[in-house]
Structure 1
Amino acid sequence: MARETARGESGLGIQHGTKYFPANALLWLPPVRWDPGHGRWPAVGRHRGNGRRYVNMIVRADDLENFRVKGVYSEGLVRSLNGYDHDPAAPRILQNPWTRERAQSWADGRNQLREGILIDGQRQPRISVPNPPPAELHVGGEILHLAHYGTRGAHYSRMPPPMEWAPDT
């Protein structure tokens, strides 16, 4: 779970963790059985209010960071990850596990995630930039200037930044 998450109108409210998980909580992502919606994933972790039980929740992908591959040894965690497919006769067997190589490749791809951008208020899904974004971006023969960078990504403008006025002395 990310240390700070964006909430509220236009993502201007900063919150530590989410309503259900504290900041820096360890979450496990089970195999997806159904699509919870764009940018949302099922996750298993210890609830903010009760640190002993594992709970299944749907979380925003933007609220997750620092992906790692780790083994699962707890019976309670295996039960939560398996969900309805859990076999009580084999309490420590994870159903439909990924190979370590596949999981590591996926985690590495998420950790090196590039961010989408907005150009003059319009989302550009096919253009992405690294984090932190460059001050100038060359797209289609145009030079775009970084106008704002926040929790919702990089906002670029076709207008150059204003020049600072300095008094003549």
Structure 2
Amino acid sequence: MTEATEEQVPDGPLGWCLVANVARETPHGESGLDIQHGTKHFRAGTLLWLPPHRWDPGHWRRHAVGRHRGNGRRYVSMVVRVEHLENFRVKGVYSEALVRGINGWDHDPAAPRTLQRPWVREDAQWLADALNEPREPVFVEGRQYALPRVSVPNPPPAELQLDGETLHLARYGTRGAYYSRSAPPVERVPEG
């Protein structure tokens, strides 16, 4: 194995990036009851680099760059679900190959060590802290989609105050917390 020369090792990071690992177990299928190890494209534990949004890939999805399950030598770019990721943090980017993968079609061969849209380290750290706090989307009976900008801690509370209305936890599943406007039935205990 050859040692890297001083010209090949950068003095400091070429930029900062939000990173995460692929979760050990990921829910798939209807109701998320099919548990798999990793995802179709990435093994469990794979380090993924999450650059700032180029375009919006959809609700709770992120553009990610990592080493593919089938070819561990090259970086590939995919869209992944945030729920399939864990251990969010900020890391420095040191590799020109990684810079090329993060830049994607914006990569400039004349400036191979330049990130086109780098993270501001504080912004990436704020997002990492927010994503590491386990929160669940909130669904209310009669609505097909989760309420925007409303989430609850994991595990969810039995009651939730929302717009002056008391909602009661009806069920809790892999997709989030489901609340009802009606109170749960009272269980009668026989005397005696």
The structure 1 residue matched to 2:173, chosen from 150, 156, 166, is: 150
Task: Using CA pairs under 8 Å that are at least 6 residues apart, name the structure with larger relative contact order, 1 or 2.
Answer: 2
Is 1:44 paired with 2:75? no
Matched residue pairs, number? 169
Identity within the alignment, %: 69
CA contact (8 A) 2:51 2:119 kept: no
The structure 2 residue matched to 1:136, chosen from 159, 165, 172, is: 159
In the aligned structure 2, how far is the partner of 1:48 from the partner of 1:85?
Answer: 25
In the aligned structure 2, how far is the partner of 1:93 from the partner of 1:139?
Answer: 46
Q: Which amino acid aligns with 2:167?
A: L
TM-aligned CA deviation for residue 52 of structure 1: 1.9
Is the alpha carbon distance of 1:127 and 1:13 closer, same or farther for their aligned partners in structure 2, counting shifts above 3 Å? same
The residue that corresponds to 1:125 in the other structure is 148
Structure 1 unmatched runs, 5+? none
CA contact (8 A) 1:78 1:92 kept: yes
Which of 126-135 and 46-55 deviates more? 126-135
| Structure 1 segments of 4+ aligned residues over 6 angstroms from their partners | none
TM-aligned CA deviation for residue 167 of structure 1: 5.5
Structure 2 unmatched runs, 5+? 1-21
In the aligned structure 1, how far is the partner of 2:153 from the partner of 2:120?
Answer: 28
